[in-house]
């Protein structure tokens, strides 16, 4: 589950802006965040994170991990990124592209 997003709040068109996505893993250290999938509707970008449990024997308890999500926009504007969790809670992040 995504708990926080951190990074630059401004960027330039067609340039990747790396954002650090913090996510809470519950099955121990074997939870892996594989990829992000985004859907755009105007300046609202819905981002879903997909992962899996590796199935190995894990020794670490639940906790927080991070993964980089690169936001790129071909157009300028103020964008609201909505990171949607499986329980339908949303973590929002605003970024201005010029």
Domain boundaries, the chain: 2-97
pLDDT band at residue 91, thresholds of 50, 70 and 90? Answer: very high
CATH of domain 2-97: 2.60.40
Q: pLDDT digit string (tens) for 6-35?
A: 999 999 999 999 999 998 766 555 667 778
- Full 3-state SS string of 31-84: EEEEEEEEEEECCEEEEEEEEEECCCCCCCCCEEEEEEEEECCCCCEEEEEEEE
pLDDT tens-place string over residues 52-83: 666 666 665 667 788 899 999 999 999 999 99
């Amino acid at each position: 589950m995504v708990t926080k997003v951190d990074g630059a709040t401004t960027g330039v068109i067609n340039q990747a802006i790396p954002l650090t996505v913090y996510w809470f893993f519950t099955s121990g250290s074997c939870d892996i965040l594989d990829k992000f999938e985004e859907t755009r509707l105007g300046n609202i970008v819905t981002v879903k994170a997909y992962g899996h449990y590796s199935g190995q024997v894990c020794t670490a308890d639940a906790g927080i991990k991070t993964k980089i999500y690169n936001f790129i926009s071909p157009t300028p504007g103020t964008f609201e990124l909505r990171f949607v969790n499986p329980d339908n809670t949303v973590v929002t992040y605003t970024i201005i592209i010029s």
